[in-house]
Structure 1
Amino acid sequence: MKRILLIEDDREVARLLELELKEAGFQVEWAKNGMEGLIRHREKKPDLVVLDLGLPDLDGAEVARRIRATDDTPILVLTAQDAVDRKVSLLSGGADDYLVKPFHPAELLARIQVQLRHREGSEVFAVGELELYPKRRQVFFRGQEVRLSPKEFDLLQLLMSRPGRVFPRLEIEERVWGRPLGRESNVLDVHVANLRAKLREAGAYGYLRTVRGLGYALRPGRGEEG
């Protein structure tokens, strides 16, 4: 389920948009001002932001600029201003698209779907017959999807980013969990075991290798897993 962050100070408008978005199958987070929107964006990591320009604290264009400074989340701006120079300014400042009020909910949903398709893109990591799509967060082996937990996906993406390279445990912990897990922790071992089991079930036997005393690597073929 795609996550939409709705930044809108008008409670009634927000309620109506939230109902439309949820009816269309989206998960919706609502922020009633710019600062709250920036916090929710950082915490929730939405797939797309619907941003009203007329916010009570920060100008919507400034909110878009700050979001764009940190990542490439698509931003769809809602504005009452139809001036060409204002539209150009919005697009130059980080917005991906805009809708002029009033608008029909069906047009909003169509614009959202276009931006989400653009975001999915075609980037893919491939090792042998194993394929990983970072933006879509999907993994396939021989065309069949392999369903992973968020951390299993992050772990596999790290290993597939450098096929054949042995990643030490500490580096994996810091890059996937953001910190060392400690010598007594078996969290990484459990995730490796679960990921290996899911790859085996899909037919990708021997891809995830344990290099004893060093760490883990992702290589194609049916070599020893360790």
Structure 2
Amino acid sequence: MPSPRILIIEDAADIARLLTLDLEDHGFAVHHADSGMAGLMQAREQEPDLILLDLGLPDFDGSDVVSRMRADSRVPIIVLTARDTVEEKIRLLTLGADDYLVKPFHSEELIARIHTQLRRRAGGGLGGLTVGEPTLFPAQRRASYKGTELLFSPTELGILLVLARQRGRVYRREELNQALWEGWLPEGSHVIDLHMANIRAKLREVGAYQVVRTVRGIGYALRG
């Protein structure tokens, strides 16, 4: 089985080098781009399995990379950032980032987050084909609603696949955290709610207004 391919988009050569050595020690094939434009070009040419993205790039902000990537790609994106404000995290997740780590971070946590995203992208542990509206295709990492393609990020698709295990059942946020982040999200995190808001917005764009149900203070469900 080929090694998972990781693209690092980071302009600081020393940080990129340390990340590369650590990832290679864990069996990943690593490529590096030192600017946003170079990263976008390499992502298109090499089709990596996951992207590690720094925000402070020399040509344009890393959040612009997320926006441009999400126009036509579902590749998982983990943002590495020194910006630790709630507003910044909300902005990144809304744009389509799948996860973020605030610098400085432990190598073990980064590796764990990468493995979580790669398992989610492969559909591992998330169930098989779900027939209905929306229709989810885990093996192809696709979703559609009445024939219209939905461009969900890997995390958004992962959430829907968990909810689709038992349509109508309310899944608590703690269950979604365990299933998708292996419990890494801290108590009080709004990450799940932000991803759900993105899911709803994308469903509304195709006229699917009542697919997801919120039970205030508890969690979420797909209507049966």
TM class by shorter-chain length? 0.5 to 0.7
How many pairs were matched up? Answer: 129
RMSD: 1.7
Q: Which aligned pairs between 1:132-147 and structure 2 lie closer than 5 A?
A: 133-134=139-140
Counterpart residue type for residue 114 of structure 1: T
Q: For residue 100 of structure 2, what is the aligned residue in structure 1?
A: 98
Q: For residue 72 of structure 1, what is the aligned residue in structure 2?
A: 74
2: CA distance, partners of 1:68 / 1:120: 18
Task: After TM superposition, give the deviation of residue 134 of structure 1 in Å.
Answer: 4.2
Deviations 1:87-119 (A, max 9, x none): 010000110000000011111111111111111
Counterpart residue type for residue 30 of structure 2: V
Q: For residue 35 of structure 2, what is the aligned residue in structure 1?
A: 33
Deviations 1:55-104 (A, max 9, x none): 00010000011111111100000010110011010000110000000011
Q: Which aligned pairs between 1:75-86 and structure 2 lie closer than 5 A?
A: 75-86=77-88
SS of the residue 1:17 aligns to: helix
Q: For residue 62 of structure 1, what is the aligned residue in structure 2?
A: 64
Q: For residue 160 of structure 2, what is the aligned residue in structure 1?
A: none
Whose Rg is larger? 1
SS of the residue 2:71 aligns to: helix
2: CA distance, partners of 1:133 / 1:95: 21
Counterpart residue type for residue 12 of structure 2: D
State the TM-score, normalized to the length of structure 2: 0.55
1: CA distance, partners of 2:139 / 2:113: 23
SS of the residue 2:52 aligns to: strand
Which protein has greater RCO, CA pairs closer than 8 Å, 6+ apart?
2
Deviant stretches of 4+, over 6 Å: none
Counterpart residue type for residue 74 of structure 2: D
Unaligned runs of 5+ in 1: 125-131, 136-226
- Contact kept, 8 Å, 1:123 with 1:134, in 2: the verdict is no
2: CA distance, partners of 1:61 / 1:97: 13
SS of the residue 2:116 aligns to: helix
Unaligned runs of 5+ in 2: 130-137, 142-224
Q: Which aligned pairs between 1:1-226 and structure 2 lie closer than 5 A?
A: 1-121=3-123, 122=127, 133-134=139-140
1: CA distance, partners of 2:52 / 2:22: 13
State the TM-score, normalized to the length of structure 1: 0.55
